[in-house]
Amino acid sequence: MNRRTFLQTAAPAAVAADRQGAGASQTPRESRPNVIWLFGDQHRGQALGCAGDANARTPNIDNYAALGVRFAAAVSGFPLCCPFRGSLLSGRYPHKCIPGHEYPMPDGQQTIAHAFAGHGYRTAYFGKWHVDGYKEAKGRAAMHIVPPARRGGFETWVGYENNNSQWDCWVHGGSGRDAFHYRLPGYETDELTNLLIKYLKERGEEARQSAARPFFAALSVQPPHDPYVAPAGFMGKYNGAALQLRPNVAHVAPVIERARRDLAGYYAMIENWDWNIGRIRRALEETGLAGNTHILIFSDHGDMHGSQGLFRKTNPYEESIRIPFIIAGEKQRYEGRMTGIVTAPLNHVDIAPTTLGLCGLPKPGWMEGTDYSHYRLAGGPRQGGDPDSAYLQCVIPTGHGDSINKPWRGVATRDGWKYVCLENTSWLMFNLNEDPYEQANLAFNNRYRAERKKLIARLKQWVADTGDRFAVPED
């Protein structure tokens, strides 16, 4: 086994884009900001101290939120790992990219890495990938080698397709004689953070030698995805019996018992992730990169943990679709800029355009999402306004236990309404302003028929505008 910490590799399209586009932007390359994605798996948006969760110990994330902008209404438009990640990387909706679990990214699909490379950026990806379409029925995905041409055009790529064993995590990268595949020596989140920090130190050294190029880096960790285990020092802080459950956790003994057991490990994993984010922040300060680096903190979807009597994801309830989403960086970089909480309905397809926008770069033609970077750089909505809602989907159900087993579509509006339907059948409708825990389903209450018709019309427009195909009910 040829073990290397990481190796720079690039798909041919990324190399070509870098050569052709290194001078494409009008902004001098050396003055462009860096940007880093930090994202976990199954970390629901409610599970943050800054979001009011009494169980969550997230001082580093909370600090970034205080210095930046927190998108309190951000959603995972398809709350499932593979579809979200396809949309994250491509800026395209799941029905045009990855429509279900273990489906591959389409061959030739350009990604945000290609866009950044075309403007002279270094690009790096560390951690969970899960867009190569490997079927776990064939064996453990941690042993699957993602071909170099299917690594999204990233110059540096050290990752794995999927892995549900945080203490037995394998990563790979490189190609040919330079290929490597090895087992991380410790807990996944800690070790992947080590790889990113090493990368940051290398970029900092380049900057000190006046040889720097701006960079885009992504760190994707599987925790707090189940199994809910963390290093002992974090696990020992949480007693499931003492945790506060959300008010909508079903009052059913087995549900409550499972929720408390799982949540103890879940919050331990979140605290460990937050601790590692603190390590990354210190590394940025020590390398001198902090003042010119944007930080985006988010997740691919949430986790129900007994709310509505459900577990895991793939459903349109708040605990499943709402994700953390914070844009931050050093305070001195943003003096006079907006900080605080915004209610823009940011969706998964919007993350890539927003990331490019933070660096003053246009979104490429293949991206469908909205650039929300103006909330960080200009202090508010752009002229002409933002989208009034986010489009929600379950295109191809997984069929797994604890998952919704039928396709559905929905819309979450900026003014606090949510409507979801099965094919030709209304399913859920909530006024989240009055009912944030979704206890009163109004979908079949004719007192709200006028509002329902408005939401159905908006959903039909989303289906048409995105080129989707789904039988939305008439009334």
CATH number of the domain residue 423 falls in: 3.30.1120.10
- Same domain? 295 vs 415: no
pLDDT of amino acid 210? 83
User: What is the rounded CA–CA span in Å between residue 72 and residue 322?
Assistant: 8
- 297 neighbors 64 (Cβ within 8 angstroms): yes
With a threshold of 0.85, does the pTM exceed it?
A: yes
Query: 334 by DSSP, 3-state: which?
Result: helix
Residue 222 identity: Q
Q: pLDDT-derived band of residue 18, with 50, 70 and 90 as boundaries?
A: very low
Average pLDDT estimate for 22-40: 70
Residues 6+ apart with CB under 8 A from 318: 46, 302, 307, 432, 436, 437, 438
- Same domain? 376 vs 422: no
Average pLDDT estimate for 60-80: 96
pLDDT of amino acid 3? 40
- Same domain? 379 vs 431: no
pLDDT of amino acid 22? 35
pLDDT of amino acid 20? 33
Q: Is residue 444 part of a domain?
A: yes
Going from the C-alpha of 156 to that of each of 54, 90, 112, the distances in angstroms are: 38, 18, 14
Q: Report the CATH number that the domain containing residue 247 is assigned in CATH.
A: 3.40.720.10
Query: Range of 306's domain?
Result: 12-387
User: What is the rounded CA–CA span in Å between residue 459 and residue 392?
Assistant: 9
- Same domain? 67 vs 183: yes
Tell me the pLDDT tens digit for each residue of 83-97. 999 999 999 999 999
Q: pLDDT-derived band of residue 219, with 50, 70 and 90 as boundaries?
A: very high
- 348 neighbors 88 (Cβ within 8 angstroms): yes
| Token pair of 155 as six digits | 């110059």
DSSP-derived letter for residue 206 is H
Compare 246 and 336 and report the one with higher pLDDT. Answer: 246
Q: Is residue 398 part of a domain?
A: no
User: What is the rounded CA–CA span in Å between residue 174 and residue 8?
Assistant: 7
Nearest to 380 by CA among 329, 342, 325, 324: 342
- Please return the burial class of 182, using the count of CB atoms within 10 Å of its CB with bins 0-12, 13-18 and 19+: middle
- Same domain? 263 vs 236: yes
pLDDT of amino acid 338? 61
User: What is the rounded CA–CA span in Å between residue 158 and residue 156?
Assistant: 7
pLDDT of amino acid 272? 98
pLDDT of amino acid 90? 98
pLDDT surpasses 60 at 13: no
Q: Is residue 472 part of a domain?
A: no
- Same domain? 223 vs 173: yes
- Same domain? 286 vs 176: yes
- Same domain? 458 vs 421: yes
- Please return the burial class of 407, using the count of CB atoms within 10 Å of its CB with bins 0-12, 13-18 and 19+: middle
Supply φ then ψ for residue 225, to 5 degrees: -60, 145
Going from the C-alpha of 175 to that of each of 105, 150, 163, the distances in angstroms are: 20, 12, 21
Q: Is residue 27 part of a domain?
A: yes
Q: Is residue 126 part of a domain?
A: yes
| Token pair of 267 as six digits | 């919050």
- Same domain? 331 vs 419: no
pLDDT surpasses 80 at 8: no
pLDDT surpasses 60 at 278: yes
- Same domain? 294 vs 412: no
What is the chain's mean pLDDT, rounded? 91
Q: Is residue 392 part of a domain?
A: no
- Same domain? 105 vs 59: yes
- Same domain? 178 vs 319: yes
Average pLDDT estimate for 113-130: 98
Q: Is residue 352 part of a domain?
A: yes
Terminus-to-terminus CA distance in the chain, angstroms? 61
**Where a domain ends, among 341, 360, 387?**
387
DSSP-derived letter for residue 407 is -
Number of folded domains that form the chain: 2
Tell me the pLDDT tens digit for each residue of 149-190. 999 999 999 999 999 999 999 999 999 999 999 999 999 999
- 438 neighbors 464 (Cβ within 8 angstroms): no
Which contacts qualify for 264-267: CB closer than 8 Å, 24 or more apart? 264/228, 264/235, 264/238, 264/239, 264/240, 265/224, 265/227, 265/228, 265/229, 265/230, 265/235, 265/238, 266/47, 266/224, 266/228, 266/303, 266/305, 267/47, 267/55, 267/56, 267/57, 267/224, 267/238, 267/243
User: What is the rounded CA–CA span in Å between residue 284 and residue 10?
Assistant: 25
pLDDT of amino acid 5? 36
| Token pair of 345 as six digits | 């309905």
Q: Is residue 7 part of a domain?
A: no
pLDDT surpasses 90 at 107: yes
Average pLDDT estimate for 185-199: 98
User: What is the rounded CA–CA span in Å between residue 362 and residue 373?
Assistant: 11
Tell me the pLDDT tens digit for each residue of 279-324. 999 999 999 999 999 999 999 999 999 999 999 999 999 999 999 9
